[in-house]
Structure formats: structure tokens, C-alpha cells
Amino acid sequence: MYIEIDGISKTYGRRVKALDDINMAIDKHEFISLLGPSGSGKTTLLRIIAGLETPSAGRVLIDGKDVTGQPPHQRGVAMVFQEFLLFPHRTVVENLSFPLRMLHLERGEIARRVGWALEILSLTGLENRYPRELSGGQQQRVALGRGLVASPKLLLLDEPLANLDRELRQEMEIEIRRYQKELGIPFIYVTHNQEEALSMSDRIAVMSMGDVEDFAERTIVYNHPKTPFIARFVGRSNAFHGRVRSVSSTAMVVDCNGIAVQASNVGARPGDEVDLYIKNEKISLLRGTAAGENAPACTVRDVILRGNFTEYLLAAANGQMLVAGLPAGAETFLPGEDVTAVWDEAAVDAFVRRLQ
Amino acid sequence: MRWPSLAPSLWIGFTAALLCATYAFLYVPIVHVALASVSTNTMWPYPPRWSTAAYTALIHNRVYLEALMNSAIIGLATAVLSTAFATAAIFGLMRYPGRHRGKLLLLYLAPLFVADIVLGISTMVFTNLFMGIGGNLAVAILANAVRCFTYAFLIIAVQLYRYDWRLNDAAMVFGATPVQAFREVTLPLAAPALFSASLSTFILSFNNLEISFYLLGATPTLPAVAWGTLRYGIRPELFAVTTLINLAVILGFAAILISLKVGRHRRLTQAEEVRGLT
């Protein structure tokens, strides 16, 4: 593989374990996201790959070469920072040419490459502006250009869109993914925003408390969460908790405080405590009340219009609140109406609680 | 706050008078010294009767010239030493903060609270009695640097306190060695502070009497000579040398202003050039 992260650990002092034995292999054409809440170690891992921090154990290999002992300036990687970190005393052109000057390229080549970056990032006309004279989106593009201009072996992005507004963010998501596909170098993208991770990445590494919970293709991370943490963190889900009432060879029925949920059997025995998660959009609504598993009777409490889909806030008979997301154009319901929330057995992500 | 309702013209007159008075307060003594230096009567040069006697005397008076040279050497060397060490100290404290940052900071600032005269005497005791080294320029420079380090430290710290050290991370990721990152990013952004620090420390040590006095023995410095004349009578050479120093300061500031203007012009044309290339 093009990039290998081999048993990387990072401890601060004696107790604090920021990263615990991380192993990842990344191919040359891949767009990887490190997705996790703050404090999950994703930025630390990125800084270790860049060489800005030293791991307590493990190795980093780029293009087959062990770079663990190398300082950042010898690694040939580039980075886009959350706060952009453009050099405030340098103009746009000077910021863009910085990595090229450090490579001691000749003037013509520098001008050619800076021109290329200005072109693809549509920064033409802003050459002589200072960073403080640019809008957030423009600064972002300069930061991105500075990352791409020297054709690095690898581009690291540390929440680069966190400081932009929503509309601009969605625009940049598409652009960033396009650059990655065009340049054919791996991008490693750190974010706590699952939408960004889902929209751009080929594979997602979900991180929590210094561990990689799962490193898999984005559809698998979304549709088949490997751990309860991923089920909670990725997508919007309804959470249930209860004890297994009965099991068959393929399925089990869980009593969740009066709501009977049927899920595929994940190796539980009757009496086991399980956590169940059902993504909002996998719940649909039927008018009137019905009975049985996966069909709790509910009352519509509120309707939230999201444009391309509608969210129904539901109160079940046991008081639990549920959220169902129906696509635009589906049958509509009014607040106060009695409905039945139904879902497929396959829509339930079930996890048996292990004794800690 | 509301301004008292006076006629606007009265206000303008009042503030203009205040401004003039302030400048007069600042510059009349300096003009007086300059006038005195080119007059036959240095004590009361009104109306001045022109004479270059003071300057002729200055050229022939070795003590004043030597004192000027010594003060200049002490000032320059102290400015360089204290600014360099203060920069290094701040770089260490802020770039690599550790558990003992607060304690180290206090230790660096402690010399600020020692009176100059005590610093002079104790340095003399240390070098002379313990180490057997007589007073000389090098010892005076070091003792001045101890005190000036604190001032330089404070001036530079104020500027670099807001400095984002992650800019150095960015520079290093983009291929700069730590030294290059410092030279390309930290130094230009800290330049105003380094300039003020070296200027302040130069002036402090150039004008210092108490520290240098105890460490130099018979070697004269300008403040020491000026102080001496209080006892043995003020001589015209003192007015001449003071006027020359003031002149140098004014020329120096003019040079700085011009170079700033020229520098900005050059940056703009350079940027135009890059634009032409791309």
C-alpha cells in the first residue's frame, strides 16, 4: 500500500493515551476521512503523519519508505489547516510560492505552478492581496492551493471547512473531491462532521478515544455500523435499549420498555441486554394503529420540514420519542394524528452489551 | 462625554495652543543645547553670537571622543546581546511551553527589580573580588545586558504573545527547516518588536551611568563625563557632543522613514513582476 500506519500509539505522560495501536493502509488513489468527535485522536494522528508530532510507538510509511524519524520538511507531504494558517505578511502569490521556494525550484517553474494554482482555484485577480484582505472562502482556497501547488505525495486536511458557512462548505466538498481524483494523490481528511466525511470519502475511519472503531467504505460505515459508537455517531438514529425476550435461529425479539423490536440475531441469548439503533429514514409511517413487532403505536407531535425530506417527531405509548424521516412527496401526516411507526428487521443495528 | 459648548473656533485655537505647548516643552531644551553649542556664551546664548569653538574644542578633547566611542560600543553590544538573548528566551518559553514556564518567566524578569546602582556594585564585587577581573568594557557590557535583557524580553514578549506558533508548523510542513521557518515567518512578524527592543536597549545602555560607572574605573563614558562636569564645571564640549548625538538621532529617524517608503514601493513593484510572470 502507498501509505501504511503501523501500530501507531501516542501517550502523553504516563496515563493519557491519545492513540492506541492504530493500523491503517491507504492506497494511492484514495480519499480517506478520519471521523470522530473532538478528543478522539484524529488530529493527533494527522500531525503524526505530517511529522509535527512524534509517536510513542509505531511507524509511518509513505510510498514504501519509513518516515517515522523524519522531520516534516523532508516528508514531501502538505497540509491544509482548520485556521488556514496563511502567512499574514505574505501576499497570495507569496503564500502559494512558499512550498516551491523551499524546494529551490527555478523562477519560471515557480511562476508556472503558481499560475496553475491560481487558475484551478479561481484566485486570479487576488494575486497581491494579503490574507487579511480575503474572505473566508478565498483564504480557504489559498490554503488549499498552497497544499496542492508543490505536488505533494499526500495531502492532509485538518477540518478545513469548519470555518466556512454551510453553502460554501457544500461547494468546497465537491471541489476538494474533484482535486483528489484529478491529482491522483491520497487525501486524508480529518473532520467531526459526518456529512463531509460521507460526501467526500472513499473510506472512513471512525475514531473514538484514541481507537479506530472501524475503517471501511462509507456505505458500510453508514449502513452497517460495526460498533454502537458508530451507530450513534454516523447518521441520525433512534436508540432503543432492552432485554432479549426470545431468539430464533435468525432473529431475536427485544422488549424495549413496552416496544417490541425484532432484529436479526447477533448471537444474543434470552435475557441479554442489547442496544438497538434504527436510522430515522428507515422508519416509515402507517395511518392508524397496528400491533406486533417493529410497529409501535405513536402520536405525531411535530412535523419538521427539511426540504428534500420531512421529519416527524413521534411519541410512543411508553413515552419514548422517535424520529421518522420521510422523503418529500411521501404521504403526509398532521400533528396529533395516531400513526404506527414501522421498519424492517434489517434496518435494526443491534449490539449485545458486553460486561465491561 | 459631551464637550462643553464653546464656539468651534475657540476649541481649535485651544487645542492648537496645547499642541504647540507640548512640542515646546519637548523640544525647547534640545534647541537650547543646539544653540548653545554654536554660540560663544554656552550658558546664555540669547541672542547667539555664532562660534564653532565648542566643536573645535570637542575634536581636540580626547576624553569626550573616547567617552562617545565607549558609550557607543556599550550601547551597540548591549543592544545586540540583550535582544538576541531575549528573543531566544521568548522563543523557548512560548514555542515549547512546559510546566516551569511561570517560574522561568519570573526568573527572567527579576533583574528588573534590582536598582541599577546595586547591579553595578554587585557585579563589581563579583568580577573584581571573586574573579579578580578589573573593570573593563566587556564586564560593563555584560552587566548592562543583564538589565537590558529584561526590557527587551518584555517588549518582544508583548508582540510574540499573540503570535500563532502553528504558523511555524505550517512552514515546516511546506518544506522549511525549523531555522528557515523562523527566518521566513517568525522573524518578519516579530521585526517591529526586535527593532523596538534593540533601540530601547541601545538607548538605555548608551545613557547608563550607574552600572557602567562601577565597572569601568578610569574608562570614560558619556554619562560619566557629563556627570563629572557637574562637579568641575560644564564645558562647551558637552553641548557640542549632545547636539551631535541629537543630530544623529534625527538623521536616523529620517533614514528609517525613507527606507520604509522605499521598501513598500519595492514590494509593490515586485508583486507586479510576479503577476506579469504568471
> What are the tens digits of pLDDT across the range B57-105?
888 888 888 888 999 999 999 999 999 999 999 988 888 888 888 888 8
Cross-chain Cβ contact A111/B173 below 8 Å: no
CATH number listed for the domain at residues A3-231: 3.40.50.300
Over residues A166-192, the mean pLDDT reads: 90
Residue B77 resides in a domain: yes
* Residue A308 pLDDT level (bands cut at 50, 70, 90): confident
pLDDT of residue B206: 92
Identify the pLDDT of residue B133: 80
pLDDT in tens, B16-60: 999 999 999 999 999 998 998 888 887 888 887 888 888 888 888
Cβ of B178 within 8 Å of Cβ of A99? The answer is no
Domain ranges of chain A: 3-231, 236-352
- pLDDT at position B278 is 47
Nearest Cα residue to A242 out of A260, A226, A263, A224: A260
Alpha carbon of residue A57 to chain centroid: 26
In contact, A63 and A153? CB cutoff 8 Å: yes
- What average pLDDT does range B172-201 have in this prediction? 92
What is the span of the domain harbouring residue B148? 68-221
Instruction: For chain B, say whether A130 makes contact (Cβ under 8 Å).
Output: no
Domain CATH number, residue B117: 1.10.3720.10
Using a CB-CB cut-off of 8 Å, the residues of chain A touching B187 are: none
Residue A110 has pLDDT above 70, yes or no: yes
A83 in contact with B, Cβ within 8 Å: yes
Ranges A59-68, A220-229, B113-122: which has the least confidence: B113-122
Contacts of A156 in chain B (CB under 8 A): 173
Res. B174: pLDDT tops 90 = yes
Q: What is the pLDDT of residue B20?
A: 96
Q: Is the CB of A302 inside 8 Å of chain B's CB atoms? A: no
B180: chain A residues, CB-CB within 8 Å: 73, 102
pLDDT at A307 over 90: no
Question: Mean of the pLDDT values across residues A42-54?
Answer: 93
Task: Examine residue B257 and state whether it is found in any structural domain, yes or no.
Answer: no
> Least CA distance to B191: which residue of chain A?
A89
Q: pLDDT by residue (tens digit) across A237-283?
A: 999 999 999 998 889 999 998 889 999 988 888 889 999 999 999 99
Please report the pLDDT score of residue B51 as a whole number. Answer: 86
Average pLDDT, whole number, for chain B? 86
Least-confidence region, from A73-87, A220-234, A289-303, B169-183 = A289-303
User: What is the number of structural domains in chain B?
Assistant: 1
Spatial contact of B83 and B152, defined as CB atoms under 8 Å apart: yes
Least confident of A28-37, A130-139, B222-231: B222-231
B269 close contact with A: CB closer than 8 A: no
- Cβ <8 Å between A99 and B170: no
Distance CA A47, CA A41 (A): 10
Contact list in A for residue B174 (CB cut-off 8 A) is 73, 78-79, 98-99, 102, 146, 150
Q: Which of A51, A88, A98 sits opposite B189 (nearest CB)?
A: A88
Task: Annotate chain B with three-state secondary structure.
Answer: CCCCCCCHHHHHHHHHHHHHHHHHHHHHHHHHHHHHHCECCCCCCCCCCECCHHHHHHHHCHHHHHHHHHHHHHHHHHHHHHHHHHHHHHHHHHHCCCCCHHHHHHHHHHHHHCCHHHHHHHHHHHHHHHCCCCCCHHHHHHHHHHHHHHHHHHHHHHHHCCCCCHHHHHHHHCCCCHHHHHHHHHHHHHHHHHHHHHHHHHHHHHCCCHHHHHHHCCCCCHHHHHHHHHHHCCCHHHHHHHHHHHHHHHHHHHHHHHHHHHHHHHHHHHHHHHHHHC
* Residue A7 backbone zone (phi > 0: left; psi -120 to 50: alpha; other: beta): left
- Confidence check: pLDDT of B165 > 70: yes
Q: CB–CB of B174 and A78 under 8 A?
A: yes
Q: Does residue B110 sit within a domain?
A: yes
Residue B200 belongs to some domain of the structure: yes
The answer for B 5-44 residues in CB contact with A (under 8 A) is none
In a domain, B194, yes or no: yes
Task: Please state the rounded mean pLDDT for residues A4-24.
Answer: 90
Please tell me the distance in Å from A253's CA to the nearest CA on chain B: 54
In chain A, which residues have their Cβ closer than 8 Å to the Cβ of B189? Answer: 88-89
User: For residue B275, is it within any domain?
Assistant: no
The yes-or-no verdict on residue B274 having pLDDT over 70 is no
- CB contact (8 A) between residue A150 and residue B174: yes
Q: What is the ipTM metric for this complex?
A: 0.82
pLDDT digits over B221-267, tens only?
888 888 888 787 788 888 888 899 899 989 998 998 998 888 777 76
- Do the Cβ atoms of B271 and A93 come within 8 Å? yes
CATH number for the domain formed by residue range(s) A236-352 = 2.40.50.140
Q: Is A75 buried (19+), middle (13-18) or exposed (0-12) by CB count in 10 A?
A: buried
Q: What is the pLDDT of residue B114?
A: 86
Residues of B in contact with A78 (CB under 8 A): 173-174
